[in-house]
Structure 1
């Protein structure tokens, strides 16, 4: 082959190689360009803040809805309405199982509410609603809870209480509803004549033999702490209306308790072995003590209470059957008592052991109260009790600003011969006989040691207290170690 032919062939090969390489490069660039167009770059000033700008040609998909944790849904999920658990709410059907089921479900949820809805009546047989439960459980009573009305329908094993709350912490009962104990048969009467004095017929006397000696308390708390009861009404309990036993951190506010004046032994609020209590701004009218404070109670504050009819505010009876009784640090103030058997009183049984100390009754307004001020270390609930030596020591008691009218006797201080009352202060006592009554008794003061301070009406109160030489105080202190 000639040299010229070889050169021409070489030129053609080089040309084809250049064309092939150029075509390959152009194809790669075209693919890069297509990819860049489908994903346009964001504006420089948006890149870091908001991420890539969406392509305006295609609408973005709607984001998935976030779980809603608003207050409405959360509250709704924590309300356990007894109607949702099968309650009828007609006042006749037995709704006990529904209440228990609602309670058990709510007990497992923090901040839950068991709801007793308004405009319904729920017949509930004796039950125990117990914990421990999750904190801040609420029983919202807006409707009416009814106890069994017939004595014979109560099981013999359930005569101690109607609704028992047990082992609860951080628990609240509230609402504008009613807890009705329907205790008329237990008292020996009927609902139709509940407002009047009961007329006991021969028929009822025969029937009353079947009434058990033990009668149930309406609402009882046992071994429960940080409990609040507010706003509700408790009516017609066979025995006590509201009882706290072996509990602490109790708050009672703005409740209304009512039963007929002659319903026997129906205390309004009953405290036993319970500490750190505040009872305030409530109205109590019942057949026995408006508030009864029993052994084992301390740090109790009772104020702004309207009491009457009833037996007044009482500590005791303490020391029955030679038992040990210990009560201390009680403040009762700003109380109004109308038409009660007693005003403020301390009552202990002969032969008892222990002590009552640091008690203050102040700013007490009385109207037609039989005996406004009482300390009785000879308490007896029978016609006759045997005399016994020994007594629960009473010391450090102040009666301050007790003002109003009495219908029988202004003051009754009957203290033990062997364990006299010591450090009793009478300050600003102004008690006048009621114009409604004609026969009155003189003030009684026996073995009471302390001091008095004017004004004192009647003037005989000024001579009521003896001066203590120190021996009486030593007797009181010797009893305190038993507590």
Structure 2
């Protein structure tokens, strides 16, 4: 039903109140019988709320379900407060396919997330699916570096989305941008630990997927496994285009710049080209400064169809481990200027 927020808290919620409707309509959940101790199941009290706004000022806790918002226009989820997934009890015991996302938004428009702390999700901390007009700011998303598949923010089929002034340190991608997404702007995000800010993987199982108009600016990668990354699977179709990563600070980041068109089986390695490949074009890496913990500071590993319009300029990357840095360049076409290490395949 349009405008209904379905919230499922199977093993208890701790929070002080909810704000629903406009900002002046408050519901004190305690008056409705909610205990809010983090152990008691308060879901019968909360049930379903006709709400475009939730103000979280406590700690959400759950063990085997997620918080899910669907078909809502003008929803605001505003902190302070915590959403604690207690993920350690799941990561080694439950297959990824059976683990829930902590906070999931589907078919929401004009969505605002602000001020919350997200801890130790069972899987993705925040999932934005088929939404438009989304503003995410001032979040803290935290999980151990070895926590599996704990993406900070996972985006798919969504458009007109801004992420700003946010800290993300997890065991997987800080931000993952998947197929069907466009007009995504990410600014002033600190990522680490984690796998960087990634587009893809795209084209799994021969699917056709498109991503365009993604702009990442003024972000920091601190001891991440990867930095700015595009990954596609051989055999897929579609495109990734009009993408930029600019004014990036690197602090002992592994693999600071990556285009990997041979990604498959859930890990990055050189899978064989197939007849089809996503078209990667009009991608800019500019203003990268800092250190790489990996020898391959720049890896442009494109399919035999080639990546077009690749720009790498004003980049100064040195080694944090005292080794000579390398550039990998396969089937990449474009320009490079004022860059260390030198990207010779792109020189005019």
Q: How high is the TM-score relative to the length of structure 2?
A: 0.89
Pick from 290, 294, 316 the counterpart of residue 174 of structure 2. 290
1:465 corresponds to 2:346: yes
Q: Residues 344, 174 of structure 1: CA spacing in aligned structure 2 closer, same or farther, 3 A cutoff? A: same
Q: Identify unmatched segments of 5+ residues in structure 2.
A: 1-20
Q: Does residue 1:88 correspond to 2:45, yes or no?
A: no
Which of residues 302, 307, 322 in structure 2 aligns to 1:415?
A: 302
Deviation at 1:217, TM superposition (A): 0.5
Deviation at 1:387, TM superposition (A): 4.5
Deviation at 1:215, TM superposition (A): 1.4
C-alpha distance after superposition, 1:413-444 (max 9, x if no partner): 00001x2100001110100011xx25555210
TM-aligned CA deviation for residue 295 of structure 1: 0.3
Which has the larger share of strand?
Answer: 2
Higher RCO, 1 or 2 (CA under 8 Å, sep at least 6)?
2
User: Do 1:295 and 1:326's aligned partners in 2 also have CA atoms closer than 8 Å?
Assistant: yes
The equivalent of 1:140 in structure 2 is 55
Alpha-carbon distance in 2 for matches of 1:301, 1:416: 27
Task: Find 2:122's aligned residue among 222, 226, 238.
Answer: 238
Answer yes or no: is the 8 Å Cα contact 2:174–2:196 preserved in 1.
yes
- On the 8 A contact 1:83/1:98 being kept in 2, the answer is no
What is aligned with 1:24? none
Are the counterparts in 2 of residues 242 and 268 from structure 1 also a CA contact under 8 Å? yes
Q: In structure 2, what is the Cα distance between the partners aligned to 1:82 and 1:385?
A: 53
Matched, 1:97 2:12: no
**In the alignment, is residue 254 of structure 1 matched against residue 138 of structure 2?**
yes
Q: CA deviation at 1:92?
A: 1.5
- Post-superposition Cα deviations, 1:73-126, rounded to whole Å, max 9, x if no partner, equal x999821121122111122111111222xx53xx2xxxxxxxxxxxxxxxxxxx
SS in 1 for 2:40: strand
**C-alpha separation in 1, matches of 2:247 and 2:38:** 43
Q: Offset of 1:214 from its aligned partner?
A: 2.7
CA contact (8 A) 2:262 2:272 kept: no
Q: Is the CA contact 2:96–2:149 (under 8 Å) kept in the aligned structure 1? A: no
Paired residues of 1:413 and 1:444 also in contact (CA < 8 A): yes
Instruction: Give the drift of 1:212.
Output: 6.1
- Compared with structure 1, are the counterparts of its residues 349 and 97 closer, same or farther at alpha carbon in structure 2 (3 Å cutoff)? same
Superposed CA offset, 1:281-318 (max 9, x none): 00000000111000000001100001100001000000
Match of 1:347 in 2: 231
Count of aligned pairs between the two proteins? 325
Aligned to 1:166: 70
- SS of equivalent to 1:262: coil
Work out whether 1:401 is the aligned partner of 2:287.
yes
Which of 422, 426, 431 in structure 1 is aligned with 2:317?
Answer: 431
The DSSP-based 3-state class of the residue aligned with 2:303 is coil
Higher fraction of helix = 1
Alignment of structure 1 residues 66-81 onto 2, 5 Å: 78-81=25-28
Q: Is the 8 A contact 1:447 1:466 kept in 2?
A: no
Q: d(CA) in 2 for partners of 1:364 and 1:86?
A: 49
Distance in 1 (CA, whole Å) between partners of 2:84 and 2:337 is 46
Which aligned pairs between 1:55-454 and structure 2 lie closer than 5 A?
A: 78-100=25-47, 103-104=48-49, 107=50, 133=51, 137-148=52-63, 154=64, 162-188=66-92, 208=93, 211=95, 213-380=97-264, 381-382=266-267, 385=271, 387-408=273-294, 409-417=296-304, 419-434=305-320, 437-439=321-323, 442-454=326-338
1: CA distance between counterparts of 2:39 and 2:95?
23
Is the partner of 1:390 in helix, strand or coil?
coil
SS of alignment partner, residue 179 of structure 1: strand
Counterpart CA distance in 1 for 2:263 and 2:55 is 40
Q: Deviations over 1:258-296 (max 9, x none)?
A: 011100111000100000000000000000011100000
- CA distance in 2 between partners of 1:292 and 1:173 (Å): 21
> In structure 1, what is the Cα distance between the partners aligned to 2:247 and 2:271?
34
Cα separation, 2, equivalents of 1:251 and 1:89: 28
Contact 1:407/1:440 (<8 A) preserved = no
Please state how far the C-alpha of 1:464 moved relative to its aligned partner. Answer: 2.8
- Please give the alpha-carbon distance, in whole angstroms, between the structure 1 residues aligned to 2:270 and 2:98: 22
Q: CA deviation at 1:360?
A: 0.9
Measured after TM superposition, the shift of residue 465 of structure 1 is 2.0
Instruction: Give SS of 1:217's match.
Output: coil
Q: Structure 1's 93 and 353: CA in aligned 2 closer, same or farther, altered over 3 A?
A: same
Segments of structure 1 that go 5 or more residues without pairing to the other structure are: 1-73, 108-132, 149-153, 189-207, 468-483
In structure 1, C-alpha distance between the alignment counterparts of 2:81 and 2:226, rounded to whole Å: 30
